[in-house]
Amino acid sequence: MTTSIHVTALDSVVNVNSLFTLAVFIGLAWNPYDPSNTLVDPNSRCAPTSKIAEDLIKFHVYSFSSFLFSSLVALAIKQAIKLSKSHTFNIHVTFRGSEFLEHVDVNKTLLRVGMVVSGAGSVAGCVFLMLALVNVVQIKVGTLACGSGHAFAAVVPLVILVPLALLIYVCVGLYAFTRFNGVYGTSNYYGPCGKHDIEKEAQKLAPCTYAAKYFRAPVSERCCTIMEKKLNNPSCLCAILQSHTVYNAGVRPEVAVTIPKRCNIAVRPVGHKCGAFPFV
């Protein structure tokens, strides 16, 4: 569901940032001024200058700051999701043998902005870490300015592969944000009811509420008409029957799945399960 997808994504951001932050700490612990840390003759024209060493330290600090910023934003979003109490997003809970959707209220716009900001922090951290590594190479095997072949051999793949990976990361993220409506995300981006809000669709089944509570309750003609239309998409109907609105209305899913038969609807998805209960 949507909330679990976002939380998983945020967990991934924090985990990756942690690995990069560890790499930055190791880099900061390295002394660029130690003569034993370079393979270049100090008297050679390819010997690194003090500016390269200073840039190395600056880029490490910038990278650490970016990754820390990204992780803190991601953790803040996770806490906001966990602390929310009303009803916009979905979390699976099981009740009476059937899965229902309990909701967590999160401002979708702020959630997206927060995730973009967190992602931007990770991208900036990667860029600064790449620049720091370029300086590490120059300190180790010679500066790029002197045309060191070893330096170019190490730096060229770095400045090609890292930006390419970041470009793919950004493009995939933007694609996901433009194709995902932020309400009921599944593998088809929108969920069983497409772009329709499941809670609003559940409200349309209000005429069936009484009949969905008791096996022997009469089913109104209006309810049967609505149910017949909803049966065109059984998966959507099941999602509606498992929604928070329906659950709060006291609907019993084992009773609701019998309504199509009680309405004498000829074409119905017999055997299609809504949670633990199949249509009859």
The count of residues in the chain is 280
According to the model, what pLDDT value does residue 77 have?
Answer: 83
Residue 208: C-alpha distances to residues 97, 98, 219, 266, 278 (Å): 21, 19, 7, 18, 18
According to the model, what pLDDT value does residue 178 have?
Answer: 67
- Mark whether 20 and 138 lie in a shared domain: yes
Q: How far is the C-alpha of 81 from the C-alpha of 195, rounded, in Å?
A: 22
- pLDDT, tens only, 212-238: 999 989 999 999 999 999 888 888 888
94, 51 contact by CB (below 8 A): no
Task: Answer yes or no: is 189 within a domain.
Answer: no
Task: Answer yes or no: is 118 within a domain.
Answer: yes
- Mark whether 132 and 49 lie in a shared domain: yes
- Mark whether 120 and 245 lie in a shared domain: no
81, 3 contact by CB (below 8 A): yes
Is pTM, for the whole model, over 0.75? no
- Mark whether 220 and 162 lie in a shared domain: no
- Mark whether 115 and 246 lie in a shared domain: no
- Mark whether 163 and 71 lie in a shared domain: yes
According to the model, what pLDDT value does residue 193 have?
Answer: 81
Taking residues 231-260, report their average pLDDT.
Answer: 89
According to the model, what pLDDT value does residue 29 have?
Answer: 67
- SS3 track for the chain: CHHHHHHHHHHHHHHHHHHHHHHHHHHHHCCCCCHHHCCCCCCCCCCCCHHHHHHHHHHHHHHHHHHHHHHHHHHHHHHHHHHCCCCCEEEEEEECCEEEEEEECCCHHHHHHHHHHHHHHHHHHHHHHHHHHHHHHHHHHCCCCCCCHHHHHHHHHHHHHHHHHHHHHHHHHHHHHHHCCCCCCCCCCCCCCCCCCHHHHHHCCHHHCCCCCCCCCCCCHHHHHHHHHHCCCHHHHHHHHCCHHHHHCCCCHHHHCCHHHHCCCCCCCCCCEECCEECC
pLDDT greater at residue 98 or residue 80? 80
Task: Answer yes or no: is 79 within a domain.
Answer: yes
- pLDDT, tens only, 170-191: 888 777 766 654 433 333 445 6
Residue 259 pLDDT level (bands cut at 50, 70, 90): very high
| Domain end residue (candidates: 124, 150, 179) | 179
| Domain end residue (candidates: 152, 179, 206) | 179
- Mark whether 152 and 118 lie in a shared domain: yes
Task: Answer yes or no: is 186 within a domain.
Answer: no
- Mark whether 203 and 171 lie in a shared domain: no
- Mark whether 258 and 206 lie in a shared domain: yes
Indicate which CATH number applies to the domain containing 266. Answer: 1.10.110.10
Task: Answer yes or no: is 228 within a domain.
Answer: yes
CA angle 92/106/242 to nearest 5° reads 30
- Mark whether 171 and 57 lie in a shared domain: yes
According to the model, what pLDDT value does residue 255 have?
Answer: 93
Task: Answer yes or no: is 136 within a domain.
Answer: yes
Residue 69 pLDDT level (bands cut at 50, 70, 90): very high
Taking residues 32-51, report their average pLDDT.
Answer: 74
According to the model, what pLDDT value does residue 145 have?
Answer: 87
Question: How many domains does the chain divide into?
Answer: 2
According to the model, what pLDDT value does residue 196 have?
Answer: 80
pLDDT at 247 over 60: yes
- Mark whether 43 and 173 lie in a shared domain: yes
pLDDT at 96 over 50: no
- pLDDT, tens only, 203-213: 888 999 999 99
**Which residues 6+ apart lie within 8 Å of 248 measured at CB?**
none
Task: Answer yes or no: is 126 within a domain.
Answer: yes
Tokens 């679990």 belong to residue? 4
pLDDT at 40 over 90: no
Within 10 angstroms of residue 226's Cβ, the number of other Cβ atoms is 18
Closest to 14 measured CA to CA, from 128, 144, 115: 115
Residue 100 pLDDT level (bands cut at 50, 70, 90): very low
pLDDT greater at residue 111 or residue 92? 111
Q: What sign has the CA pseudo-torsion 101, 104, 105, 109? A: negative
- Mark whether 208 and 135 lie in a shared domain: no
Q: In terms of residue numbers, what domain contains 226? A: 198-278
Task: Answer yes or no: is 114 within a domain.
Answer: yes
